[in-house]
Structure 1
Amino acid sequence: MNLYNAFVMELLRLVFLGVRLLDRRPPPSKDIRSARSVIVFSTTAIGDTLMNTPAIRALRKALPGARLTAVADRRRADLLRHNPHIDALVIYPGKFRKLFSLFKKLRAARPDWAVVLHGNDPDIPILAYLSGAPGRAGWRESRMSFLFTHAPTIDRDLPFVRRRLDLLAELGVPEEGERTEITIPPDAREAAARRLAAAGVDGAEEIVAFHPFGSRRSKWWPEGNGRTFVQRLTRETGRRTVVLGGEKEKASAEAFFGRMDERPVVLCGEMGLLETGALLLRCAALVTTDSGPMHLGFALDVPTVALFGPEDFRHYGVGHREGKAVFRMGEAPCERPCKKKDCDVEGHPCMASIAAGPVLDAMQSLLARPTPV
């Protein structure tokens, strides 16, 4: 954050601190279950959005007659677009963008409660306050936590799904399990089938989705490991590899795999979230780093091998059905979790130490397990 932005944020904080001190409304009961309208904020990454779905499900179960409105980031809104537990979806356009239009939509919901499940942008607590909700829940660690009426402290030893559920437990909401979920509509499934056919993948051909990238370079599985995995997967199992990723990874994918004899199908940057989910449903398995596709695989019950290096899988590796996921964590002399964007340790050991052979063995073992009921 540059000095100007830091100054603006501090000014806003002081303004709303004054507004809050002048607000004489008594805080509501800590029990949310009598609410008739609730807004939930889920405005961060793919994984965060999906890890919020157990909390949304729990809210719906606890408040069957209430109107639930979800506020989601414009880039990840599709993850909640067909969620059966919400009544309305409001698009969050980005930090301090189109605030008046967003403000009107939130006020129109006439919320009794606003719950910030996860929202890193500094205007989210402000929007929760301006929504008019008498009850507002979020985390004490937020710089704007004084705008919440209920703000417990984050237990950083807990998995992220568990943290959200515990926030709701503070409000009287019992949990409805930790599994994440997403609904894939028929048109996305049809689009994925057409895309695979256009890439020359036969409808009966067994395929494995592969995502060696990540939100930062330190999470990437090294090129040599990925190439060896694709080569062995093709030769030893006869399955075809489909490489997934965003537009930013397209050039890297072509450089990594373009000249291989066992060239995979590269679909980086060609699909939205729902079509990617539909494609995963078509796959025998998914091999992925700690990333958005990993969370999609968990939510869709796709057999998933997840490769962790800088982060701790015990925090992120949740939300899947038991028996549907295995984890491989690299060895490194570093302290983890590590938030570096690029690894400065020679050889990038936390990811490079995850060899292709054990990953393939883990995938084969996962596919050999009986399908869980």
Structure 2
Amino acid sequence: MKFNKILVVRSDRFGEFLLNIPAIRAIREAYPNAEIILFVNSSVVDLARCLPYVDEILECDKASNGFLKKLRFINSLKKFKFDAAVMLNPSKDFNIVTFLAGIPVRAGYDRKWGFLLNRKIMDNKHLGLSHEVEYNLELVSLIGAKTDNKAVILDLDMHEVDKFAAYIGIDKFDNLVAIHPWTSDPLKQWSQENFRLLAKRLIDELKLKILIVGTKDKIEKSKALFGDLGNSVFDITGKTGLRELAWCLKKCRLLISADSGPVHLASAVGTPAIALFRNDIPGKCSRRWGPWGDKHIVIEKPALSAISVDEVFLKAKEALKI
């Protein structure tokens, strides 16, 4: 079946979005002449603009909040005259609105009112049997999009990176290792004091510079943790959007992080990552959520408290070939 206009929805966070790049590219490869419109969370728009595979990007969170907005959104979908809609993450709202908009082919997971879809697969992701990239590719195969190209690559325009580096106070990116010590899920949090001790050892023993990254709500915590480590620490917590963060990570030799979005961002821009995982919850394990590719290191144990600073330090030396 040929599709001329395809709606693709991924309405969650940026880490999850990045792992959909191969699936979105597969749709473009299968339908090179189709118009592909991508609906993403507003926080992801800057990264989505780096994808050459889509024709238009819209903010799905603004489109679907509130009853009247949903009605207007349904009407706007009707005007687009989509042939197909692909919900890359289970979404009751989008299952409903794409059904009411009369989109002929609606593909997604058989969850959250999945009975409204006419092409669907079971959502067994909680079992953690495959990587998220593989799950996403399995889903888009429902509309005939299949590929052997599974690379997660984000094409960045780097021409403004030096200007941005001057703005945030980084004179050079030489010998820079990024640390992202935060996660939104307490179950995924390695001790923040451990991250501090790790940063200190990387500075004192390996003479590295450390880039601390995080969101605005972590500014004060970051100052308290890393503020006394001297001029070898560049703390850009809260100073970047996602595109600027991607620039910085691309310039780093390595990222060390809890299981969180920046791990996938580093992977997408070609920077090796050391990611810390717990493996006692199948749906949260590295087999599903680990950094994609073979240049990364995963340290995974049933309890994150079992991961020592020394173990991560030695893995950092291995990754940096020191």
Q: Please report the TM-score for the alignment, with normalisation by the length of structure 1.
A: 0.78
CA separation of 1:205/1:102 partners in 2, compared to 1, >3 Å: closer, same or farther? same
Q: Measure, in 2, the Cα distance between the counterparts of 1:172 and 1:45.
A: 26
Q: Measure, in 1, the Cα distance between the counterparts of 2:110 and 2:88.
A: 12
Instruction: Please tell me whether residue 151 in structure 1 is matched to residue 151 in structure 2.
Output: no
1:171-219 deviation line (CA, Å, top 9, x unaligned) = 3221243222323234xx52x4334334443225321110011122232
2:34 paired residue among 40, 52, 66: 66
What pairs with 1:223-372 in structure 2 (closer than 5 Å)?
Answer: 223-261=192-230, 264-309=233-278, 311-320=284-293, 322=294, 324-330=295-301, 332=302, 350-368=303-321
RMSD over aligned Cα, in angstroms? 2.1
Percent sequence identity over aligned pairs: 26
1:114-161 deviation line (CA, Å, top 9, x unaligned) = 0101144x311122223431000111122x112111121123322211
1:90 paired residue among 51, 58, 61: 58
Q: Measure, in 2, the Cα distance between the counterparts of 1:208 and 1:40.
A: 35
The answer for unaligned runs of 5 or more in structure 2 is none
Instruction: Please tell me whether residue 174 in structure 1 is matched to residue 142 in structure 2.
Output: no
Aligned to 1:347: none
Aligned to 1:50: 18
Aligned to 1:116: 87
Q: Measure, in 1, the Cα distance between the counterparts of 2:164 and 2:205.
A: 26
Match of 1:99, as an amino acid? Answer: K
Match of 1:168, as an amino acid? Answer: V
CA separation of 1:167/1:198 partners in 2, compared to 1, >3 Å: closer, same or farther? closer
Instruction: Please tell me whether residue 162 in structure 1 is matched to residue 134 in structure 2.
Output: yes
Q: Measure, in 2, the Cα distance between the counterparts of 1:92 and 1:106.
A: 12
Is residue 173–residue 251 contact of structure 2 (8 Å, CA) maintained in 1?
Answer: no
Deviation at 1:301, TM superposition (A): 1.2
SS at match of 1:89: strand
Q: Measure, in 2, the Cα distance between the counterparts of 1:280 and 1:130.
A: 42
CA separation of 1:195/1:351 partners in 2, compared to 1, >3 Å: closer, same or farther? farther
Is residue 242–residue 266 contact of structure 1 (8 Å, CA) maintained in 2?
Answer: yes
CA separation of 1:204/1:134 partners in 2, compared to 1, >3 Å: closer, same or farther? closer
Say which is worse superposed, 358-367 or 244-253, in terms of deviation. Answer: 358-367
Instruction: Please tell me whether residue 36 in structure 1 is matched to residue 8 in structure 2.
Output: no
Structure with larger Rg: 1
Deviation at 1:65, TM superposition (A): 1.0
Deviation at 1:100, TM superposition (A): 4.4
Match of 1:82, as an amino acid? Answer: C
The answer for unaligned runs of 5 or more in structure 1 is 1-32, 333-349
Q: Measure, in 2, the Cα distance between the counterparts of 1:227 and 1:351.
A: 16
Match of 1:284, as an amino acid? Answer: R
CA separation of 1:105/1:362 partners in 2, compared to 1, >3 Å: closer, same or farther? farther
